[in-house]
Structure 1
Amino acid sequence: MKSFIAALAFAVIAAVGVAMVLNTIQEPSSVAFTTTGARVSDPGHNLIGPG
């Protein structure tokens, strides 16, 4: 039982850590896919939420 609780705690800590890292790395599509050939404007508020 102790090993199950330890594994559960590790999974929660790992998930929170990875979520925090991804929040700092990811950028909105309006920034990531802006090139000289295609401009994606700032979406603002649309059907999927704030940009």
Structure 2
Amino acid sequence: MRTIVGGIVLAALIGVAAGLVLTNMQTPAWRAFSTSGARVGDPGENLIGPPWGRERSAKS
């Protein structure tokens, strides 16, 4: 019984540690893949389509 509980606790600790490490290592795609050939800026600057939210009510 101690082995099973120890395994569950160890799995939980590994999961939490992996979640924290991987969250800190992530880079947004628009930042990671911005090269001179694909000029992708901040996603808020190059959106297309009808405006949503506050922008829609302000322009109407």
TM-score (norm 2): 0.65
Whose relative contact order is higher, 1 or 2, with alpha carbons under 8 Å and at least 6 apart?
Answer: 1
Partners of 1:7 and 1:43 in 2: how far apart? 43
- TM-superposed deviation, 1:39: 2.4
Unpaired runs of 5+ in structure 1? Answer: 45-51
Q: Which protein shows a greater Rg?
A: 2
Unpaired runs of 5+ in structure 2? Answer: 45-60
Per the alignment, in what secondary structure is the counterpart of residue 37 of structure 1? coil
Question: How large is the RMSD of aligned CA atoms in angstroms?
Answer: 1.2
Q: Give 1:48's aligned residue.
A: none
What is the total number of aligned residue pairs between the two structures?
44
- TM-superposed deviation, 1:42: 3.1
**Counterpart amino acid of residue 38 in structure 1:** A
